[in-house]
Chain A
Amino acid sequence: MKRCFALLAIVLVVAGCFGTRSRTDVLLPAIEVAWPQVRVEAIRGGLPEVTADNFGAALQDGDATTVTVTWPAVQSAAEADIRDRIDAGLVSAGVASSLYERLKNIDEAVELLKQRPP
């Protein structure tokens, strides 16, 4: 019986590792594709460069914990920039909806990362 539990535990741990690997191997590179554009928005929106650098490094290093912890600040700053650019007439409301959609998608990806942090 103990052997069965041990085997079951090993299987669950291995399955958990696959889930975590999938999240970091897929979601972080996907976010990384969008990061250069979001970084520009976030810095214009007031995000400190050091925070942006940390977020970028975390994406590259596969550090999901730092990504999930830092994301709210990045998101707030990027949203502030989009609002400012709408007010300044630099982007239309339609274009802004595309930019907001990107932040929403990243937020959804970050939520997935949170569900099973590595």
Chain B
Amino acid sequence: MPITQCLAMKVARCFSTTPYKEIRMAKDKVFIDLEDNGTVEVSPQLVDLTAHMVSRQLVAFAEQTGRSLGNDAKVIGAYAAQRAAVLATLVDQPGFEDAVLAERDNVVIKAGIAATKRGDAIDQRLIGIIQGTLRTAAVMLIA
């Protein structure tokens, strides 16, 4: 199985907020059986997109909110991309699912630290954006 598809399957499992019964492999493809008896195929290209989405969404959020995040969003976005790249090197290693969750947490906490240092009141929204972006990524992975 190509490494990107393997990553897609594991990331989908960790980030998924859509109820599913099973994630399975058939030939060199990944399928997810949903609770409502539907089945979807994971696109491996979406895995790379997921990594970019986190950073790009944060930068877009910074541009929308202007003064509140400023360069912090770019710093956090770069950090998110860096951690996503680290994740890509850990595919198939023991404990990979734990690493995916840890990296999600790392981005959220780093964002909280950056925002707190600036003392902005809008910080709570940033955490929501990160979580929302990850959820969106999960939906995209299994859509």
Contacts and interface: CB of A to CB of B under 8 A. Distances in A.
Interface residues of A, number: 31
Contacts, number: 109
A109 B113 contact: yes
Interface in B73-101: 83, 86-87, 89-90, 93-96, 98-99, 101
B95 A29 contact: no
Contact of A105 (B95, B98, B110): B110
Interface stretch (B22-30, B43-51, B121-129): B121-129
A18 B119 contact: yes
B3 interface: no
B64 interface: no
Dominant secondary structure at the A interface: helix
Nearest to A92: B93
B106 interface: yes
A30 B108 contact: yes
Nearest to A99: B102
Interface in A78-111: 85, 89-92, 94-99, 101-102, 105-106, 108-109
